[in-house]
Amino acid sequence: EIVMTQSPATLSVSPGERATLSCRASQSVSSNLAWYQQKPGQAPRLLIYGASTRATGIPARFSGSGSGTEFTLTISSLQSEDFAVYYCQQYNKGYTFGQGTKLEIK
Amino acid sequence: QVQLVQSGAEVKKPGASVKVSCKASGYTFTSYGISWVRQAPGQGLEWMGWISAYNGNTNYAQKLQDRVTMTTDTSTSTAYMELRSLRSDDTAVYYCARNLYCSSTSCYENGFDYWGQGTLVTVSS
């Protein structure tokens, strides 16, 4: 099974600043990587697929990069509604999620 | 608009079974697959398995394959997930999600783009 490791577990950032979240795969997943946002009591929401393609309706402040085993989600200027838990997911071989990064207000 | 509407919360005793439904609307049901994902209280997301709504092919997570069965009813555009021999650590919110679009010639994975609202399954004696 491909193991996905996210870092950090918790990230404290002020509104208006940039947030950078990392995701590492235990083996290459090519560009078969998605990012999701989840708020309390809600289902996850697809942000990015194919490592860098924004899903429909996702604001341009969200961007994804990377390939192989190292991936990054960047939120360029944090809005209040962006504070949530973020998960990466590989779909190169089966499907596995990272353990999540909680993005909290500093 | 695309919607996935799941059945309501369940309370089950250890050893029992639960069957959760996921009714799809707003798209051609047989053009996509449905994955099931669960989330234990305060924990992360765990993929449970996938079913093709086109031909019923399935792919289950190894740790659950002896206890889970996924099916679809194309006449009602509904997917089902049944989990047997329930244990306390099966207590979780269960989600269905749309993924893996297939045309007549190729399939495309663009992530889990639509999700159901979740179904809380509580396993307790």
The pLDDT value recorded for residue A105 is 92
Whether the Cβ atoms of residue A70 and residue A21 lie closer than 8 Å to each other: no
Q: Which residue is associated with the tokens 């369940």?
A: B10
The pLDDT value recorded for residue A34 is 98
Confidence at B80, pLDDT banded by 50, 70, 90:
very high
The pLDDT value recorded for residue B103 is 80
| Three-class secondary structure of residue A84 per DSSP | coil
- Express as a percent the part of chain B with pLDDT over 90: 91
CA distance B25 to A15: 37
Whether the Cβ atoms of residue A65 and residue A71 lie closer than 8 Å to each other: yes
Please answer yes or no on whether A44 and B46 come within 8 Å at the CB atom: no
Residue B101 has pLDDT above 90, yes or no: no
Please answer yes or no on whether B116 and A43 come within 8 Å at the CB atom: yes
Å between B60 CA and nearest CA of chain A = 9
Chain B contact set for A50 (CB, 8 A): 110
Please answer yes or no on whether A43 and B115 come within 8 Å at the CB atom: yes
| Three-class secondary structure of residue B88 per DSSP | helix
Residue B58 has pLDDT above 90, yes or no: yes
- DSSP 8-class letter at A102: E
Mean pLDDT to the nearest integer, B103-124: 93
The pLDDT value recorded for residue B36 is 98
Residue B51 has pLDDT above 90, yes or no: yes
Please answer yes or no on whether B45 and A95 come within 8 Å at the CB atom: no
DSSP β-ladder status, B78-83 and A62-67:
unpaired
The pLDDT value recorded for residue A97 is 98
Å between A96 CA and nearest CA of chain B = 6
Å between B27 CA and nearest CA of chain A = 15
